[in-house]
Structure 1
Amino acid sequence: MPYGPDGRWTAPEYSLGYQVIDWIEAYLVHGPGDVQGQPITIDREYARFIVDAYEVDSRGRRRVTSAFLSRPKGRAKSELAGMLVCAEALGPVRCDGFDANGNPVGRPLTYPYIRCLATEETQAGNTYDNVYYMLTEGPLADTSGLDVNLSAVNLPDGGKIVPSTASSSSKDGGKESFAVFDESHLYTLPELHRMYNTVTRNLLKRKAAEPWALETSTMYAPGEGSIAELTHGNYLKVVEGLLDNPGLLFDHREAPPVSIRNKAELKKALRYVYGPAAEWMDLDRMVTELQQMPEHEARRYFLNQPTATADQWMPKEAWDAVRSDARPEPGDQIAIGFDGSLRYDATAIVGCRLSDGLIFPIKVWENPHTSDDWEVDVLAVDAAMAEAFKTYRVEWVYADPAYWQDIVGRWALEFGTDHVFEFWTHRDTPMATAVERFRTAVETRQVSHIGDATLTRHVMNARTREVRAGAVLRKETKRSKKHIDACMAAVLAVEARADALADGRMRKKRYRAMSY
């Protein structure tokens, strides 16, 4: 995200965004709604997004190849997308050099071909609805050569704006210069994924046009496999250094953790997440209605928090609430959880400090799913466990021995059978007990975590399966590529900590033998 919760934002050195904003405010009007037909004034928050989206380098080339704008329901995301479609069709959106002051100068694109993607066959989509109104009712309505109808817009000097759905005729072979995927959290069906993939492939064809794509969305339901979820996952990998994608602009505004039942807190959170739009929203009415709807819907659509339904195990707000600035130190007494896979999934070693329940990953190896031949480096896993024993005072290890029985057995011999224990995660009763302990410890703030992005992603990926003893953890589907292994290891680490404390390990001191 280009600016943080404190509101600080660093403007790009070069951007055509300022000219694009001026063009929008001069030539467009608001689309269908309460203020339709009125002149547009871009608010501060969306102005920053436009400036970021139109950043160019010192040669005048676009830096952003794909942008994701995530805001709550009612924040006029589709209208903003419509404004940018009109600008891409007729406005100064590509660099034509630099002026005497070193600022980029914009020009219209040669043969713009713009596709507005929608999910419903029976409608053109919210973005195109706005485009149609802006071009037929605003200052551009009498533009010579501009032919606007419900099926397409033919542009004066060539080019088109086309609305499309998954059931439309084939989009392969298109010459898109700009594409809008509106409400990409709804792109869950295979045909919508195919549509998305086809159009994004088309954007690679016109180098001189510097094509790009815009996704607008409220946050998704984790586990549905929407395009919005995939984009968010890619962004998190960029943050973690696992993926190189400098052309991705991810602009997401999410409410802080808040109790839906607390009216004052909820109103404050709504004011934050709606930003400048809070000034014209009926926040008091929203508070009342949000408290009457299912909580996951309130959080997802209005607080813009990625929230799943009943089968997601850990609420994001509960997990975020126990994030800590504390860090483990060498010599700390800790417990360890280990969960591993040799090939398909991930392998994780996670620690939990005995004194305060601080959870932290020691090492995580993830299958990147880029090759069928990938397998974890067993020697590296073995070395990481040895390094953990060297760095910390490891009092208790619970290790799932599936696929790793020989190595877990060797750890027990090397580090002590009173320190390393097997814990089979497929056994429902002990696993359900451990899962319940972990969830309760988070909700009652008896544990905390360091905010590691990989561990958080694994915890958010975990789903539940009801068994006679309670609930155990599972992936969303058996062959899902969304890993939960670090989460499983964290559960084992917290269980190991509990048993170490019950065994009195915190009271045991280690003395080095002294010779005289």
Structure 2
Amino acid sequence: MPWRGPEEPGEMPTLGWLVLDWIIEYLAAPDRADYEPFIPTQEQAEFIVRYYELHPGTGKRRIRRGVLSRPRGWGKSPLLAAVACAEALGPVVPAGWDADGEPVGRPWSDVRTPLVQVAAVSEDQTQNTWAPLLEMLRVGPVIDEYPGLEPLDTFVNLPRGKIDQVTSSATSRKGNKGVFAVFDQTEEWTRSNGGVRLAQVMRSNAAKIGGTTLESPNAYIPGMGSVAEDTAAFAKAIADGRTREDGLLYDHREAPPETDPTDRESLVAGLRYAYGDSSDHEDGCVLHDPPCAPGWSPIDRLVGDFWDTSNDPQVMRSDFLNQITHATDSWISQPEWASVAAPETLVRSGEAVVLGFDGSRRRSRGVTDATALVGCRVSDGHLFLLGCWEQPDGPFGQDWEVPTVEVLAAVDDAFRDYKVVGMYADPARWEGHVASWEARYGRKLRVKSSGAHPIEWWMTGGRASLIVRALEKFHGAVVDSELTHDGSSVLTRHVLNARRRESRSGLQIAKEHPDSPRKIDAAVAAVLAWQCRVDALAKGLGKKQRGGRVVVLR
């Protein structure tokens, strides 16, 4: 086993080496004419080692949710099938330490009757993992070592327990507490097909008995609300320190954003990076030094597929570069927005800023639109989210209304903490409050929407040409890297949710459909803030003069 070596000092203890030994000893490699042991690549082995890490103090499994995101053809399905077999029969439950201080594992059957599940939103999807799983159990030494093991077409009887496929509704799964579950192709698990609910129920069932789940998505499309997208947002929250949860192993790798599919050298480099150890390039993998031997993923063939004009370039990026791009009608793509993120940038108290506001009220049906307040520093065009009030999911969102007092307080705080030189607000359903802001702050503003209404800036009605131009300016500023933003996950979500809509006056934006729960209000507030900043610059505010002098904003 060339990838195996002793644990380095300071590394987490893990059952991963025991699990790898078990997989190699007992499982057959699928899709072979004759029996061969299933031997994970070094990259795959590294994932297993991390997935089975233990808390040094308690000795319990550290990871409760795993995500392995790679391009199509990388080898996710056979690996996940092998992990499912190990969870069903192998030494995956911590059982203390041996005389040398190394972790010891035992099978689930020593603790409880194991139920292992392979889940997807369609029967065809479950076959991705189910087909290699059956081959591993029918051909490998495992069938002789474990009397009572019966790998049948639709389920597997274990000496004690069962491996099952899950394609039914989430409500029927509430009583089935699996010790382990594979979630296959979660980029396609959405609310409309029951995937989001299925994932929630199965995770809850696993948590009740100390079990785990493992997702295997390809690159998701932002704005679809898939399980893969929600999990990515959760991983970002962990990375940003916005939650104390640390039980997620999120392993997503995609080709660099600068990969150019029209340039062979660039495309080959991007594919080799995305495919890692499975790349069949003659120079081996690009992940390890020395490089691993060539794998099975045909890089030259994939280059040809990219250049086949009958293939959708966006689908090719998603499927084979594993790049998270955008919906076909997205206003701004994820790579475009990510390229101008500057989360380390701070806006200090007293700095000159402009504000953008988009409000909402309770709706009689559907999900209430969000209310958002966005700031933009005049000097450099850095956008930052000051507040976004959204209807919570589930029972907490029933009869929810925008907390008006909190919103008003946030606006007052912005005027107190910063030197606000302008504010544009869409007054729809907030006319009275916008009028109050105009009366209170209008005289102080250096940038005004109009003489009569310094803050009021309608995003609806007979102002289509003005709205189109404001949207064009914002989009151009993103594409040309003229602005930056604070990396807020909420602002990002709203911007990526926005969809292009053609009008007589030009391109406008909207939700995917009027009753969609995927809101864009923070994006609208950002557009208003940017338009206000453009008007501030037109008045000479924030521009450097000769000798480096800056116009003082008083």
TM bin (shorter chain)? 0.7 to 0.9
Shift of 1:240: 5.5
Residue 422 of structure 1 aligns to a residue in which SS?
coil
Q: Deviations over 1:137-192 (max 9, x none)?
A: 22223233222221222222x11112343389954532422111211223344355
Residue 542 of structure 2 aligns to a residue in which SS?
helix
Instruction: Tell me the distance in 1 between the aligned counterparts of 2:476 and 2:9.
Output: 41
Q: Which runs of 5+ in 1 are unaligned?
A: 1-8
Contact 2:352–2:420 under 8 Å retained in 1: yes
Shift of 1:16: 1.5
Contact 1:240–1:454 under 8 Å retained in 2: no
Instruction: Tell me the distance in 1 between the aligned counterparts of 2:124 and 2:390.
Output: 42
Distance 1:481 1:240, change over 3 A: farther
> Does residue 1:299 correspond to 2:317, yes or no?
yes
Instruction: Tell me the distance in 1 between the aligned counterparts of 2:478 and 2:163.
Output: 50
> Does residue 1:410 correspond to 2:436, yes or no?
yes
Shift of 1:48: 3.1
Shift of 1:243: 5.8
Contact 2:350–2:419 under 8 Å retained in 1: yes
Alignment map for 1:382-393 (pairs within 5 Å) = 382-393=408-419
Q: Deviations over 1:96-118 (max 9, x none)?
A: 12223433210011122112124
Contact 1:240–1:453 under 8 Å retained in 2: no
Instruction: Tell me the distance in 2 between the aligned counterparts of 1:356 and 1:511.
Output: 14
Q: Which runs of 5+ in 2 are unaligned?
A: 1-7, 280-284, 286-294, 363-367, 448-453, 544-549
Distance 1:81 1:310, change over 3 A: same
1:295 maps to a residue whose letter is P
- Of the three residues 41, 46, 49, the one matched with 1:48 is 46
Shift of 1:260: 3.3
Root-mean-square deviation over aligned CA pairs: 3.0
Contact 1:166–1:191 under 8 Å retained in 2: no
Distance 1:330 1:175, change over 3 A: closer
Output the TM-score relative to the length of structure 1.
0.87
> Does residue 1:352 correspond to 2:371, yes or no?
no
Residue 58 of structure 2 aligns to a residue in which SS?
coil
Residue 203 of structure 1 aligns to a residue in which SS?
helix
Instruction: Tell me the distance in 1 between the aligned counterparts of 2:331 and 2:511.
Output: 10
Q: Deviations over 1:432-464 (max 9, x none)?
A: 221111111111222222323322222112222
Instruction: Tell me the distance in 2 between the aligned counterparts of 1:469 and 1:215.
Output: 44
Distance 1:363 1:117, change over 3 A: closer
Shift of 1:76: 0.9
Contact 2:421–2:553 under 8 Å retained in 1: no
* Greater mean alpha carbon deviation, residues 104-113 or residues 380-389: 380-389
Contact 1:114–1:160 under 8 Å retained in 2: yes
Distance 1:282 1:383, change over 3 A: same
Instruction: Tell me the distance in 1 between the aligned counterparts of 2:433 and 2:171.
Output: 56
Alignment map for 1:179-198 (pairs within 5 Å) = 179-188=181-190, 189-193=192-196, 195-198=198-201
Distance 1:391 1:174, change over 3 A: closer
Residue 455 of structure 2 aligns to a residue in which SS?
strand
Distance 1:509 1:410, change over 3 A: farther
Distance 1:265 1:411, change over 3 A: farther
> Does residue 1:287 correspond to 2:303, yes or no?
yes
Distance 1:244 1:483, change over 3 A: farther
Counterpart residue number, 1:365: 389
Counterpart residue number, 1:4: none
Shift of 1:238: 4.7
1:463 maps to a residue whose letter is R
Counterpart residue number, 1:5: none
Residue 141 of structure 1 aligns to a residue in which SS?
helix
Shift of 1:86: 0.9
Q: Deviations over 1:412-436 (max 9, x none)?
A: 2222255442112224332222111
Distance 1:453 1:256, change over 3 A: farther
Identity %: 40
